[in-house]
A and B are shown apart, each in its own frame.
Chain A
Amino acid sequence: MKQDKAGRPFRIGPTWIAAIACLAAPGCGLVAPEPRFRTNEAYLINQEIKQGDLEQSDRTVLRRNLKNLMVAAFGTPNEPHVPELEGIDAKQLFDPAKLAIAAGPVASDRFGAPKGLYREHCAHCHGITGDGNGSTAAFLNPYPRDYRRGLFKFKSTPGAEPPTHDDLLRVMTNGVPGTAMPSFRLLNGDEIDALIHYVRYLAIRGQVERALIEYSFQGELDLVEATRETLSEPESAAFVKSEIVAVATRWRQTETLATTVPSPPADFESAASIERGRSLFFGPIASCVKCHGETALGDGTTTDYDEWAKELMPNEPDKLARFLDRGAALEPRTIRPRNLRLNVFRGGRRPVDLYWRLHNGILASGMPAASMRSDGAGDDDPRLAPDDLWHLVAYVRSLPYDALSSPRDAVSYQRERP
């Protein structure tokens, strides 16, 4: 195979396929204006449905003000910007020097170091805006992550706390196995670091935009009433900045919030450990069986949607149509609890990865955090102790090697069930 100077295989990758698909798309001229961040149209529609429709003229004013505010605060895809944030070490979150490497058109600087990394490696899936709606997104399942809610799945932190730097690094290095998200282990450390800063920048930008949309509908900073003058006043600047600081603070604090993982019991992954995990899996406390099904093939609850899809109100056809008619979002799909017999773990197959997954759940997918005993509680607390969680991990890791995981056996098992 041909290789480029850096020794990387040179072949037709997803970027090329995207480019060809793009050229083939109707309406593709060859004049290339500067790319722009797209306004979060889907959330505007969602808030109109929830909080009351606007007049057409008000819609236009709101969008224009929002656009001006967002460009003022965060810049453009070619020239990202972050306002001075008092009391926050913003360099740790989105270092301007790193953003400069990740942003902009694909190029190299005068020493040959690459620039425009995000557009080269990520944008065709995750979109210029990080809205998960790049040119190839519609063909992928699952869809690429929409960063704009700040919700991430494969992380060490609980609840909706953002991923730590290490979490993002792990996702970038390993990719998300079983999905289109590739591994970027061939990029060098600086390049990956720059991309992580850029992902955080797009996420925080998106979270602030959503907050501003909410505030506008609530009337706290009404972007229908606002003008360029009122938006330049110190009060509204202070308001917008306090929101950016609030979002950025959570991303800074998350670095200390990773769930600590106790060491596994001595008999971890022994036959007894796997058996204990199996009985917990099917039992009423862990409740895994409810979603993952009697066969763990992921056939329990199958009519649910993830948080991204729920925002499009998929169970109400006339509301859903408002999003899809405008091309504001990709067609929502139901989320399937994972088939656990495939030996593919999206967030990593190490015991610690699975411990985090079960302990904290998988954010926004519907998979809940396990019901854990309160600290210091004894066996009279029926909920799960850390060792129980380890046995569940052992069982989950054993499932792909279980006899039923051969497809023919699984089918006959299902057929035999009453």
Chain B
Amino acid sequence: MSDLPRRVTATIVSTLLAVVGCARALPDDARADPDAVRAIRASLDAKPAASEPESGSVAATPTGFADFTGMFRVDGDPPAMPPVRVEGGDAAYCAPGGKAPPAETVVVGPGGGLAHVLVALDSKIPAEWEHERYAAARDALLTGDQAFDQKGCRFLTHVFAMRATQSVEVRNSDSVSHNTNIAAKGKARITNDVIPGGSKSIYAPGGPSGIPFDVGCNIHPWMRAYMFVAESPYFSVTNLEGQFELRGLPAGVELTFRVWHETLGGKWDSATVNGAAAGWSRGKFAITLQPGQSENWEIVVDAAAFR
């Protein structure tokens, strides 16, 4: 005999719970199309074919190398950066004399250069296409100038990019403790370690992140940086002059690039490239460079885009 009364009441309860009006309805929650589901499932459940071509790989072979450089400039007055909200037990250390460092969501250099823009190769390319200049640092541990450091309760590199095969020293040059919360995406590893003042730890992402992700400190919640873990060696973050440089790119093949900025994300509607509308789709564009070519762009962004 089953415990019938209990089952019956439970059934009634669950039926009531299942009533659709109970959950807050989300307007866009589409219904599945049974035919589409059947077709897709058949394909998912099929045994994979013997050798699949690498999806998204480029078909042609490169004919040499080329450089792609440029600068991002802001047209108009960028928004003023308010100081970050420093509070808690370390306030006296982190904001000496009550002076908190400014937010870094939009950083524009004296000459109008837009800093902290990530420009990265988006196409997946075979390892043989990489220029030999990148071979030595492929598995490097990034230390010294290249380390990821924090001082004055701010991250010294606001947008930090590295290769998935590399590892990086995470330093704390403050005398107070930080905890470096690396909220990685994609195949990159998530970590959150206490790093006492004057100490360091090592971050080995182990895989590419696909997109930039947040790095923070939970002891000092105002601290914010971004990391990007790249599959290829072709990435660059603009400096205070707004400059980026990608050297030794494979030429003669179409390459897709991605451009990202903390505030703009992939929204570059107002951007112009050498005077013409950029027309990037969610921050992406494709170009083919010729061997030996030095492509140089001036990218102008309307300051209004940041409001």
- Cβ of A32 and Cβ of B15 under 8 Å apart? yes
B181 at the interface (CB under 8 A from A): yes
B304 contacts the other chain (CB 8 A): no
Interface residue ranges, A against B (CB under 8 Å): 4-6, 8, 10, 15-16, 18-19, 22-23, 25-36, 38-39, 41, 49-53, 59-60, 63-64, 67-73, 81, 83-84, 86, 105-108, 111-112, 114, 116, 119-120, 123-124, 133, 135, 159-160, 211, 214-215, 217-220, 228-229, 231-241, 246, 284-287, 289-291, 293, 300-305, 307, 310, 326-328, 361, 363, 366-371, 382-383
Are A301 and B218 interface neighbours, CB within 8 A? yes
The chain B residue with its CB closest to the CB of A360 is B192
B30 touches A105 (CB 8 A): no
A327 & B25 in contact (Cβ 8 Å cutoff) = yes
Contacts A41-B29, A52-B265, A366-B218 given; does A382 touch B22 at CB 8 Å = no
Do A371 and B199 touch across chains, with their CB atoms under 8 A apart? yes
Chain A residues with CB below 8 A from B196, complex form:
284-285, 287, 371, 382-383
4 other contacts beyond A218-B258, A220-B55, A232-B40, with CB at 8 A cut-off?
Answer: A70-B32, A239-B55, A368-B192, A371-B194
Please indicate the chain B residues that have their CB under 8 angstroms from the CB of A240 in the complex: 44
Q: B177 to nearest A CB, angstroms? A: 4
Choice from B16, B31, B177, B180 contacting A22 with Cβ under 8 Å: B16
Given known A51-B282, A106-B7, A160-B189, contact A303–B221 (CB-CB < 8 A): yes
Q: Are A52 and B283 in contact (CB under 8 A)?
A: yes
Q: Which residue of B lies closest to A138 (CB)?
A: B24
Cβ contact of A39, chosen from B26, B49, B184, B219, cutoff 8 A: B26
Residue pair B22, A108 in contact (C-beta under 8 Å): no
Q: What residues of chain B lie closer than 8 Å to A366, measured between beta carbons?
A: 179, 181, 192, 218
* A232 & B10 in contact (Cβ 8 Å cutoff): no
Would you call A31 and B19 a contact (CB within 8 A)?
A: yes
Q: A15-B13, A22-B22 are in contact. Are A60 and B190 (CB under 8 A)?
A: no
B27 is an interface residue with CB less than 8 A from chain A:
yes
Residues of A near B197 (CB, < 8 A) are 284
- List, in ascending order, chain B residues with CB within 8 A of A84's CB: 45, 47
Please pick, from B19, B52, B186, the residue contacting A234 in the complex, using a CB distance under 8 A: B52
Tell whether, in the assembled complex, residue A218 and residue B210 are in contact, meaning their CB atoms are under 8 Å apart. Answer: yes
Known contacts A67-B30, A368-B192; decide if A301 and B17 are in contact (CB<8 Å). Answer: no
A76 (CB) vs chain B CBs: closest residue: B32
CB-contacts of B187-239 with A (<8 A): 187, 189-197, 199, 201, 210-211, 214, 218-221
Smallest beta-carbon distance B233→chain A, Å = 19
Residues on A with C-beta less than 8 A from B284 are 219
Instruction: Name the A residues within 8 Å of B2 (CB-CB).
Output: 5, 108, 111-112
Pairwise interchain contact A112-B1, C-beta atoms closer than 8 A: yes
Is B56 a contact partner of A220 (Cβ separation < 8 A)?
A: yes
Least CB distance, B244 to chain A, in whole angstroms:
19
Find chain A residues with CB under 8 A from B15 CB: 32, 105
| A51 touching B211, Cβ below 8 Å | yes
The winner among B15, B29, B44, B189 for most chain A CB atoms within 10 A is B44
**Dominant secondary structure of chain B at its interface with chain A:** loop
A237 contacts B218, C-beta separation under 8 Å: no
Q: Which single member of B4, B21, B42 contacts A29 (CB below 8 Å)? A: B21
A246 and B40 contacting across the interface, CB-CB below 8 Å: no
Bound: A366/B3 CA distance, A: 45
A contact residues around B89 at 8 Å (CB) = 289-290, 293, 300-301
Q: How near does chain A come to B97, taking the closest CB pair, in angstroms?
A: 20
Q: How far apart sit A239 and B57, CA to CA, in the bound complex (Å)?
A: 13
**Which 4 pairs from chain A and chain B are nearest by CB?**
A112-B2, A366-B218, A368-B179, A160-B190
Candidate in A23, A70, A215, A366 with the most chain B CB atoms within 10 angstroms: A366
Cβ of B296 under 8 Å from chain A: no
Q: List 20 A-B contacts (CB under 8 A).
A: A22-B16, A22-B17, A27-B22, A32-B20, A72-B37, A84-B45, A105-B18, A116-B14, A119-B17, A123-B14, A123-B17, A160-B184, A215-B210, A231-B36, A287-B179, A289-B89, A293-B89, A305-B221, A366-B218, A368-B193
Contact A6 B218 (CB under 8 A): no
The 8 Å CB contact of B35, one of A105, A228, A235, is A228
